[in-house]
């Protein structure tokens, strides 16, 4: 029917996702992703992140409705073949502002990479990392000795950030989590919750003896010298969820799981 959004279908290469894709294509009409008004993604959270990153790289951003055919599926809806039109019509949308990390390497290269979940800095060898942490141009930790440190969005606060004992952030809170990974000094520092407008800079204090890599979701840059992290408001992303099981409900529920 005219006026309905044009839908594209993408799927992870796993057998369950490909089988679901085949069933959906037999039951509904789809267009190519570059022609679509929204995208249906079949897979797990990792595939959802790949789909979102592909849109950011292509600079053509449309809403995404994910169906879980992976493991956790925190960013996904339940897989069902039936009533797809009705589900899309009643879906609740959530805006997600990605992070952007700007990296300068020891060799003088520069990279700018978005992250939907988190940006993490990790030691590359058995030596602990030594980092200076600046917030809005002020040095708040002249020397953080650790295995690493990460900055997480609310959407990513229940992922790696939670495993590192970071806080769960409500969606729409306008906050980011700054969380250390196995901090050695200061030993009692457990991280910080900061406004999303905060500019965070990490400087590697001994990049030759204690090399550090920077990872934006699934993309890694090795041997970094300095990393700047901030929210990228120029490219907001939209995720679609069934009304009965939305992302903010999932994030809130995670706070009560023992």
Would you give the end-to-end CA distance of the chain in angstroms? Answer: 48
Q: Is 155 annotated as a binding residue?
A: yes
Q: Is 28 annotated as a binding residue?
A: no
Give pLDDT tens digits for 72-94. Answer: 788 899 999 999 999 999 999 98
Distance CA 178, CA 238 (A): 24
pLDDT at 1 over 70: no
pLDDT at 3 over 70: no
Mean pLDDT for 239-257 is 78
Residue 83 falls in which region: left (phi positive, over 0), alpha (psi -120 to 50) or beta: left
Q: Is 194 annotated as a binding residue?
A: no
Mean pLDDT for 236-252 is 83
> Among this protein's residues, is 45 annotated catalytic?
yes
Distance CA 172, CA 200 (A): 20
Q: Is 93 annotated as a binding residue?
A: no
Alpha helix stretches (DSSP H) within 9-124: 15-27, 45-58, 84-90
CA of 12: how far to CAs of 58, 103, 174, in Å?
Answer: 19, 29, 31
Q: Is 160 annotated as a binding residue?
A: yes
- The answer for residues whose C-beta is within 8 angstroms of residue 172's C-beta and 6 or more apart is 154, 248
Read off the tokens for 138: 């002020």
Domains, the chain: 7-96+235-254 (3.40.50.10330), 99-231 (2.60.200.30)
| List 45, 107, 242, 249, catalytic entry | 45
Consecutive H or E run containing 160: helix 160-163
The pTM (predicted TM-score) of the whole model is 0.85
- The answer for residues whose C-beta is within 8 angstroms of residue 235's C-beta and 6 or more apart is 56, 59, 61, 98, 114
Mean pLDDT for 3-32 is 95
């Amino acid at each position: 029917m005219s006026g309905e959004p044009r839908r594209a279908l993408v799927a992870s290469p796993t057998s369950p996702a490909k089988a679901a894709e085949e069933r959906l294509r037999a039951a509904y009409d789809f267009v190519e992703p570059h022609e679509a008004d929204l995208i249906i993604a079949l897979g797990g959270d990792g595939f959802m992140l790949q789909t979102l990153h592909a849109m950011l790289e292509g600079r053509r951003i449309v809403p995404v409705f994910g169906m879980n055919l992976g493991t956790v599926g925190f960013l996904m809806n339940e897989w069902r073949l039936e009533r797809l039109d009705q589900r899309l019509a009643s879906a609740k949308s959530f805006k997600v502002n990605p992070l952007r990390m700007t990296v300068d390497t020891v060799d003088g290269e520069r990279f700018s990479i978005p992250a939907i979940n988190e940006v993490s800095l990790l030691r590359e060898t058995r030596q602990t990392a030594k980092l200076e942490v600046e917030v809005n141009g002020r040095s708040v930790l002249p020397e953080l000795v650790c295995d690493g440190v990460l900055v997480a969005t609310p959407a990513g606060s229940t992922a790696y950030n939670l495993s590192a004992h970071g806080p769960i952030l409500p969606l729409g809170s306008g906050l980011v989590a700054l969380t250390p990974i196995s901090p050695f000094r200061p030993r009692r520092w457990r991280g910080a919750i900061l406004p999303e407008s905060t500019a965070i800079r990490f400087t590697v204090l001994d990049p030759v003896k204690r090399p550090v890599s920077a990872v934006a979701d699934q993309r890694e840059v090795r041997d970094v010298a300095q990393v700047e992290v901030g929210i990228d408001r120029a490219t907001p992303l939209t995720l679609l969820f069934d009304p009965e099981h939305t992302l903010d409900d999932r994030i809130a529920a995670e706070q009560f799981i023992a």
